[in-house]
């Protein structure tokens, strides 16, 4: 993963566009997915898993791009007044510039508009992304032992978080 840099570097000056995405963005999403997730933990999805998820009517995709280059995405799924954040990733070279924050901010704003009351997510225990989630009021509500399986069959626990949007 790229080292996190300060807001003063050149990358930070390039504007970020956030838009709704669809299956036409699948290749770009996979490009980000393949580079953003460390291979050690088995968290990322393959092409087939991603296509299946994005084909579901309840799936939502947001795309972040800079100068027309896709650099991040968030995938979620809504059911009634609940939404599950399934996957968020930013290309390693674009990490640490507030793009993950922007994506999550847009996702939660759209969720509120869609009358969502609770947002859930599952994350590998010790993933530094928990700092990002904490900024938006996510709190741990559960722990699933050995939820993720790494390439060498190692097991990693998952933490379940929830954010309440009605307060
Ligand atoms: C998690 C991820 C999407 C964050 O995207 P990002 O654009 O780098 O995040 P931001 O620059 O918006 O950071 C916002 C805050 O999140 C926290 N944060 C996010 N990722 C972090 C990391 N790897 N290390 C330390 N802090 C991190 C920081 O507190 C940061 O705030 P700060 O800069 O004021 O300290 C990105 O690191 C990523 O793609 N990681 C790999 C995929 C992954 O693990 N996804 C989450 C599980 S689905």
Check pocket membership of 131 for ligand 1, CB cut-off 6 A: yes
**Complete DSSP assignment for 64-132:** EEETTEEEEEEEEEEETTEEEEEEEEE-GGGTTSSHHHHHHHHHHHHHHHTT--EEEEEEETT-TTHHH
Residue nearest to atom 40 of ligand 1 (CA): 89
| C-alpha 35 to ligand 1 mean position (Å) | 14
Distance of CA 92 to the CA centre of its chain: 13
The per-residue pLDDT for 149 is 86
Q: At what angle do helices 26-36 and 47-54 cross, to 10 degrees?
A: 130
Check pocket membership of 87 for ligand 1, CB cut-off 6 A: yes
Q: Are 104 and 80 in contact (CB under 8 A)?
A: no
pLDDT, tens digit, 9 for 90 and up, residues 52-99: 999 999 999 999 999 999 999 999 999 999 999 999 999 999 999 999
Q: Residue 90, CB half-sphere, CA atoms under 13 Å: how many?
A: 23
pLDDT, tens digit, 9 for 90 and up, residues 109-161: 999 999 999 999 999 998 999 999 999 999 999 999 999 888 888 899 999 99
Mean pLDDT within 42-47? 89
**In the block, residue with structure tokens 């953003």:** 36
Domains of the chain: 15-164 (3.40.630.30)
pTM: 0.91
CA atoms of 1 and 91, how far apart (whole Å) = 9
Q: Which atom of ligand 1 approaches the CA of 95 most closely?
A: 8
Check pocket membership of 98 for ligand 1, CB cut-off 6 A: yes
Q: Residue 143 in 3-state DSSP?
A: strand
Check pocket membership of 123 for ligand 1, CB cut-off 6 A: yes
Check pocket membership of 71 for ligand 1, CB cut-off 6 A: no
CA distances from 55 to 19, 26, 33 (A): 18, 10, 17
Check pocket membership of 101 for ligand 1, CB cut-off 6 A: yes
Check pocket membership of 75 for ligand 1, CB cut-off 6 A: no
Q: Are 36 and 92 in contact (CB under 8 A)?
A: yes
Choice from 53, 99, 106, 132 to test ligand 1 binding pocket (greatest atom count within 8 A of CB): 132
Residue nearest to atom 9 of ligand 1 (CA): 100
Q: Which structure tokens are listed for 71?
A: 């650099």
């Amino acid at each position: 993963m790229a080292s996190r840099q300060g807001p003063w570097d050149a990358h930070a000056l390039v504007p970020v566009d956030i838009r709704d995405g669809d299956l036409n963005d699948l290749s770009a999403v996979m490009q980000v997915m393949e580079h953003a997730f460390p291979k050690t933990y088995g968290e990322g999805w393959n092409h087939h898993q991603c296509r299946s998820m994005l084909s579901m009517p309840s799936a939502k995709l947001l795309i972040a791009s800079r100068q027309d280059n896709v650099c991040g995405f968030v995938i979620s799924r809504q059911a009634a007044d609940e939404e599950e954040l399934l996957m968020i990733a930013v290309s390693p070279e674009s990490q640490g510039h507030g793009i993950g924050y922007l994506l999550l901010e847009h996702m939660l704003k759209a969720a509120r508009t869609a009358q969502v009351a609770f947002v859930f997510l599952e994350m590998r225990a010790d993933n530094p992304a928990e700092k990002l989630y904490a900024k938006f009021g996510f709190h741990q509500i559960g722990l699933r032992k050995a939820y993720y399986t790494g390439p060498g069959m190692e097991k990693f626990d998952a933490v379940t978080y929830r954010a309440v949007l009605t307060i």
